[in-house]
Amino acid sequence: MDLRIEEIGADRLSEYAQIPMKFEVRSIFVVEEIEGGLGGLRFKEEKLQKPYVKDYDSYEDIYADESKEGGCGPESWPRHFDISNWYIFMAFDGDEPVGAAAVAFNTDGVHMLEGRDDIAVLWDIRVHPDHSGKGVGTFMFDHAADWARKKECRQLKIETQNVNVPACRFYVKQGAHIGEINRYGYFSHPRVWFETMLIWYLDL
């Protein structure tokens, strides 16, 4: 593949959204306590008897601010946040879009940024299913990390869930480590109350 990166603005988020952000959940990481948690936590992968498809862009009741209209997909980001400091880009193989990613930085209202100006959040990363397993994700992740370094960030932060086993393995492969495990992070959201929130950090 001859991959290239192209930065885009809010006017092209509909094009960005054409790359799906969904996958089939075939297994999950069950988080087990050791000695009530005093001995640490252990991840055990368990296969599901009934796999299902998770589409991140459909969870507007989870990821969008319920006080605002417009859902939670990429086209809604400007309605929820000031994205003027965000780095949003797409990956192309020739003229074909094969992936996209967004990095949030120095933005009021993004709680994952913790009010810090030395951290960036990999807000979104997606690879077209026709091009998975071809290095597109790694190419974009490295590019996002390089951008954060140029902003003099100390860390790149990423949120995922225990049901996204491929993403967890991907972030480990990229050198990230788990900084936070919240088994009740989605407890107030009926559709995904059972998921465990995992916050990853890449030291830059």
pLDDT tens, residue by residue, 83-136 = 999 999 999 999 999 999 999 999 999 999 999 999 999 999 999 999 999 999
Residue pLDDT, tens place only, 125-178: 999 999 999 999 999 999 999 999 999 999 999 999 999 999 999 999 999 999
Structural domains in the chain, CATH included, are: 3-203 (3.40.630.30)
Entry pTM: 0.91
Tokens representing 14 are 């509909």
Query: Quick one: pLDDT at residue 71?
Result: 57
Is the separation of the CB atoms in 101 and 140 below 8 Å? yes
Instruction: Return the pLDDT at 69.
Output: 47
List C-alpha distances in Å: 164 to 1, 27, 71, 160: 26, 8, 22, 7
Measuring CA to CA, which residue among 130, 112, 129 is closest to residue 121? 112
